[in-house]
Amino acid sequence: MNGKVRLALFGMAVLVCLGCWVFTFGSLWLFGHPGAARWTAMVTVSAVATEAVVWVGAFTLGWSMFASRRRLWVRVKGAVL
C-alpha cells in the first residue's frame, strides 16, 4: 500500500472519529441531556470509532510504532514511566 493511501485512510478514520465525538457533545450542548439509552448509544458509537482509529492506525502506520510506544513516550516526555 502506498504511503499516501495509508495516510489518507488513517486521516479519514480520525475525521470519522472526531465527527462522532463532535456530534455526541454537540448534540448534548445544543439539545440538552438525552435519555440514558440514547446517551449510552451515542457514547458507545463514539468509543467504537475511537477504537477503530487505534486499529486502523496500527494496520496502516505499522505495528512498530505501537510496539515501541514506551521509547516514543520517553522521547516525547523526556521521562521514564
| pLDDT digits 0-9 by tens, 40-78 | 999 999 999 999 999 998 888 776 666 677 777 787 887
Average model confidence (pLDDT) for the chain? 85
Position 1 pLDDT exceeds 70? no
Position 11 pLDDT exceeds 60? yes
Cα separation, 36 vs 2, whole angstroms: 44
Cα separation, 10 vs 61, whole angstroms: 8
> Residue 51 is part of which domain span?
3-77
Cα separation, 55 vs 51, whole angstroms: 6
Indicate the number of domains in the chain: 1
| Mean pLDDT, rounded, for 19-35 | 91
| Mean pLDDT, rounded, for 24-51 | 92
